[in-house]
C-alpha cells in the first residue's frame, strides 16, 4: 500500500465489533426517527436543507465517520462505513448526499495536502467546520483529461477562467475543490487541483437546485473570469490535478453511491411490503396475490445480490485487492440497475396511490433517478469494466504465447 493510498483511508483498523454495532444501532435509530422528521421538513420547505440539519449531523459526528482518527474522524474501515451508508441511504436523499460527500471529499485532499493545507482545509472539512464542494464537471466536456477550464500563473497567484456545472453544494460551500488545466496544455499532465475561496472575485454562481428529486441539496453552475487563486491553495504538483480528482476518491465514491442504491432500494421494499400487507382488494390483502408476492420476491433477491457485490467491491478497495477499480464500476452499474427495477415494482405495488406526493414511495421513486448519473453513468461504468476484461484477456494471451 502506497503512502497516498493510506492517506486516502485504506487499511484503517476500524471499530471493534461491539462498538460498531452500537454505532450502527444509533444511526439506524436516528434515521427512522429524527432523520424522517427532517425528511418531511425538507420536502415541505423551500427546497433547501436547513443549516440546522448540517449542525445536527456535525454535532452527532456523522460528518466525520469515515476519516482516520488522527484527522479527527472515527477511523472506520471502509466496509464499516459502507454499512452505515446503507442505513443513511434509507433516509432522505439530501441527508444521504451530505454524509456521502463530506465523508468522501477528504479522501481526495488528504493524500496531496501539505501540513498547512491539512490544518486549513482537511481537518476543518472532516469536522464539519467548512464545506468543500468537489468541482470537476464542465458544461461542454466530460470529467477527465478533456476539462477546459484554465489557469495562468503570475508569481504566487493563479488566474482561473472557465465554467463548471452540476456542482453539488456549489452554492453554499466555503471552498470549491476545483480542477483545471494550465493555459496552453493538453491531456492529463497539464491539470491542477485548487481550493478556490467561495468569495473570490471574478466568480458568478448560478443556483440550479430545482431538480426532479434529491430536494434540499443545492447545485450550481459556476463561471470564472480571471479569478485569483493563491498558489498555496494548490493540492499536489502541477500536472497532478486528475490524480487528486480520481486517484483516492473516485473508486471508493462509486462504491459509496452503489451502496446508497442498496439502502434506498431497501427503503422502497420496506414501503412496498408494508402497503401490500395493509391494502385489501376484493377481501384479500395484496400480499396474498401471487403477482404482488412475486414482485416482492424478485425485489428481495435483486437487493441481496446487489448488496453482496457492493460489499465485495468495498472489501477489495479496503484491502487493496486486485481489480478494485473495475469492481467499483461493476458494483455501481449492478446497484443502479437493481434500484431502477426495485423502485419501479415498489411504486407499481402501490397502484395509482403511489403517484401522489402524500406517499413516501413517490419521493423514493424520484430520488432513485439521481444515482444513475452520480460518479459516472452506467455507460461509463461499462466502458471501465470492458477495458479491464479485455486487458486481462490480452495479458493472458501474451503469457500463453
pLDDT in tens, 210-250: 888 889 899 999 999 999 999 999 999 999 999 999 877 88
What is the CATH class of 3-130?
mainly alpha
- pLDDT at 246 (0 to 100): 84
pTM exceeding the 0.85 threshold for the entire prediction: yes
Would you please indicate which residues are annotated as catalytic (active-site) residues? 375
Distance CA 48, CA 51 (A): 9
Question: Which of 45, 47, 43, 46 lies closest to 211 in space, CA to CA?
Answer: 47
Mean predicted confidence (pLDDT) in 381-393: 95
Q: DSSP code of 77? A: -
Choose the CATH number for 133-242 among 3.40.50.300, 2.40.110.10, 3.40.50.740, 3.30.200.20.
2.40.110.10
Helix (H) or strand (E) holding 180: strand 175-182
More reliable by pLDDT, 186 or 176: 176
- pLDDT at 142 (0 to 100): 67
pLDDT in tens, 321-353: 788 999 999 999 999 999 999 999 999 999 999
What is the CATH class of 249-392?
mainly alpha
Helix (H) or strand (E) holding 381: helix 378-400
Asked if pLDDT for residue 116 goes beyond 70, the answer is yes
Confidence tier at 1 by pLDDT (50, 70, 90) = low
Annotated domain spans of the chain? 3-130, 133-242, 249-392
Exposed/middle/buried for residue 322 (C-beta within 10 Å: 0-12, 13-18, 19+): exposed
Confidence tier at 369 by pLDDT (50, 70, 90) = very high
266 neighbors 300 (Cβ within 8 angstroms): no
Could you tell me where the beta strands, DSSP code E, fall in 216-273?
Answer: 219-230, 234-235
- pLDDT at 320 (0 to 100): 87
C-alpha cell at 201: 472575485
- pLDDT at 48 (0 to 100): 83
Amino acid at each position: 500500500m502506497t503512502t497516498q493510498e493510506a492517506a486516502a483511508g485504506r487499511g484503517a483498523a476500524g471499530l471493534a465489533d461491539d462498538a460498531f454495532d452500537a454505532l450502527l444501532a444509533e444511526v439506524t435509530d436516528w434515521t427512522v426517527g429524527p432523520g424522517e422528521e427532517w425528511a418531511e421538513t425538507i420536502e415541505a420547505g423551500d427546497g433547501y436543507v436547513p443549516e440546522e440539519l448540517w449542525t445536527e449531523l456535525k454535532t452527532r459526528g456523522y460528518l466525520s465517520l469515515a476519516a482516520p482518527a488522527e484527522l479527527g474522524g472515527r477511523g472506520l474501515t471502509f466496509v464499516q462505513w459502507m454499512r452505515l451508508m446503507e442505513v443513511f441511504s434509507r433516509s432522505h436523499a439530501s441527508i444521504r448526499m451530505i454524509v456521502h460527500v463530506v465523508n468522501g471529499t477528504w479522501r481526495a485532499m488528504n493524500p496531496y495536502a501539505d501540513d498547512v493545507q491539512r490544518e486549513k482545509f482537511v481537518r476543518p472539512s472532516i469536522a464539519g467546520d467548512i464545506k468543500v464542494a468537489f468541482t470537476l464537471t464542465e458544461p461542454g466536456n466530460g470529467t477527465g483529461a478533456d476539462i477546459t477550464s484554465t489557469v495562468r500563473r503570475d508569481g504566487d497567484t493563479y488566474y482561473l477562467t472557465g465554467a463548471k456545472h452540476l456542482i453539488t453544494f456549489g452554492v453554499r460551500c466555503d471552498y470549491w475543490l476545483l480542477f483545471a488545466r494550465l493555459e496552453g496544455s493538453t491531456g492529463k499532465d497539464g491539470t491542477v487541483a485548487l481550493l478556490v475561496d467561495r468569495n473570490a472575485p471574478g466568480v458568478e454562481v448560478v443556483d440550479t437546485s430545482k431538480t426532479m428529486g434529491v430536494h434540499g441539496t443545492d447545485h450550481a453552475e459556476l463561471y470564472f473570469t480571471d479569478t485569483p487563486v493563491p498558489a498555496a491553495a494548490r493540492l499536489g504538483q502541477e500536472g497532478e490535478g486528475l490524480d487528486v480528482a480520481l486517484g483516492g476518491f473516485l473508486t471508493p465514491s462509486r462504491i459509496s453511491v452503489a451502496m446508497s442504491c442498496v439502502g434506498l432500494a431497501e427503503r422502497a421494499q420496506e414501503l412496498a411490503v408494508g402497503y401490500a400487507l395493509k391494502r385489501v382488494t376484493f377481501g384479500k390483502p395484496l400480499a396474498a396475490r401471487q403477482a404482488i408476492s412475486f414482485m416482492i420476491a424478485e425485489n428481495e433477491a435483486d437487493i441481496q445480490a446487489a448488496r453482496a457485490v457492493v460489499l465485495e467491491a468495498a472489501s477489495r478497495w479496503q484491502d487493496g485487492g486486485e481489480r478494485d477499480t473495475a469492481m467499483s464500476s461493476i458494483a455501481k452499474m449492478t446497484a443502479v440497475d437493481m434500484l431502477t427495477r426495485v423502485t419501479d415494482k415498489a411504486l407499481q405495488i402501490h397502484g395509482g396511490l403511489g403517484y401522489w406526493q402524500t406517499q413516501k414511495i413517490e419521493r423514493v421513486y424520484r430520488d432513485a433517478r439521481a444515482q444513475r448519473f452520480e460518479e459516472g453513468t452506467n455507460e461509463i461504468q461499462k466502458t471501465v469494466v470492458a477495458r479491464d476484461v479485455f486487458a486481462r484477456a490480452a495479458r493472458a494471451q501474451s503469457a500463453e504465447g
